[in-house]
């Protein structure tokens, strides 16, 4: 079974520029998560989708970050404008269903460097 | 709300055992454990649910003390492949799948 796909793998931008990340979850997985992982820290949930609806976006900085999951499959995460503190690895994960007993499968991540 | 993991780092020789702890100030619905190798994605190890149900890899064992809001991951007869950073993810809202991850415990296994 194919895993979670993400692109690009690496991105370097200047502050105040915009950037977009793409995620394709495992086929059939209803729940999709975007995490931000700053170097040396654990992943921090930004947004959780169930199919194409948002379940939780309480930690998403909505003044600059946006995300969508059209048709309940692929998802994009956008940052506009980027700040230096946005430098991190952005991980996408998916799970078969929403619930405590559903393990999350992570993609390889996109490493963002903001200069 | 972030769970606290201990120790922060541990170095072992092959064949030795280790315990990694995860403690929360909030009542927990479930605890998830993941391992992340440098530059790679986190990989699922185990889920422990309130009520005693567990799900995960056969060679990994863990415990969940609901009253103390603590979980421990037991790594026995460690192998070189066990090296990496271990994260616990805690779920404090009932059955949402929303996890809050700890800061990680770095494990290094030496030959």
- Is residue B57's pLDDT more than 80? no
Name the band, by pLDDT with cuts 50, 70 and 90, for residue A41.
Answer: very high
Contact A108 B44 (CB under 8 A): no
Closest CA to A108 of A88, A87, A86, A92: A92
What local confidence, expressed as pLDDT, does residue A20 receive? 98
- A106, B29: Cβ pair inside 8 Å? no
| Cα–Cα distance measured from residue B45 to residue B73, given in angstroms and rounded to the nearest whole number | 10
CB contact under 8 Å between A103 and B55, yes or no, is yes
**A28 assigned to some structural domain:** no
Taking CA–CA distances from B5, the nearest residue in chain A reads A42
Chain A contact for B99, CB < 8 A? yes
What is the Cα–Cα distance from B32 to A104, expressed in whole angstroms?
9
Which residues form the domain of A66?
1-8+43-98
Q: Total structural domains in chain A? A: 1
Q: A108 vs B101: CB contact, 8 Å cut-off?
A: no
Q: Which fold has domain B4-110?
A: Immunoglobulin-like (2.60.40)
Q: Domain for residue A34, yes or no?
A: no
Using CB atoms, which residue from A43, A98, A103 is nearest to B96?
A98
Mean pLDDT confidence for B65-79: 94
Is B93's pLDDT higher than 80? Answer: no
Question: Tens of pLDDT along A55-110?
Answer: 999 999 999 999 999 888 999 999 999 999 999 999 999 999 888 788 999 999 99
| Cβ contact, residue pair B41, A102, below 8 Å | no
- Residue A22 inside a domain? The answer is no
State residue A1's pLDDT score. Answer: 66
For chain B, the structural domain boundaries read 4-110
B74 versus A72: the higher-pLDDT residue is B74
Share of chain B above pLDDT 70, in %: 99
Q: In what order do the strands lie in the sheet with B4-6?
A: B4-6, B18-23, B70-75, B61-65
Q: Which residue of chain A is at minimal alpha-carbon distance from B90?
A: A100
CB-nearest to B41 from A101, A103, A107 is A107
Helices (H) and strands (E) in chain A, counts: 0, 11
Residue A43 pLDDT greater than 70, yes or no: yes
């Amino acid at each position: 079974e194919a895993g979670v796909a993400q692109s690009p793998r690496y991105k370097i931008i200047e502050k105040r520029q915009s950037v977009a990340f793409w995620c394709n979850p495992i086929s059939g997985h209803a729940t999709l998560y975007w995490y931000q992982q700053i170097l040396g820290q654990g992943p921090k949930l930004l947004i959780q989708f169930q199919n194409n609806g948002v379940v939780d976006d309480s930690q998403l900085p909505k003044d600059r970050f946006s995300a969508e999951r059209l048709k309940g499959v692929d998802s994009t995460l956008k940052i506009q404008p980027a700040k230096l503190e946005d430098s991190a690895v952005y991980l996408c994960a998916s799970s078969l269903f929403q619930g405590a007993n559903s393990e999350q499968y992570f993609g390889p991540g996109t490493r963002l460097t903001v200069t | 709300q972030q769970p606290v993991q201990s120790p922060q780092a541990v170095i072992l020789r092959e064949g030795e055992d280790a315990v990694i702890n995860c403690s929360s100030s909030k009542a927990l619905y479930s605890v998830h454990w993941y391992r992340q190798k440098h530059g790679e994605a986190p990989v699922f190890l185990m889920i422990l649910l309130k009520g005693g149900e567990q799900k995960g890899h056969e060679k990994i064992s863990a415990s969940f003390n609901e009253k103390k809001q603590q979980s421990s991951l037991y790594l026995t007869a460690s192998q070189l492949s066990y090296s990496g950073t271990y994260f616990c993810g805690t779920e404090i809202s009932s059955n949402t799948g929303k996890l809050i991850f700890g800061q990680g415990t770095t494990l290094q296994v030496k030959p």
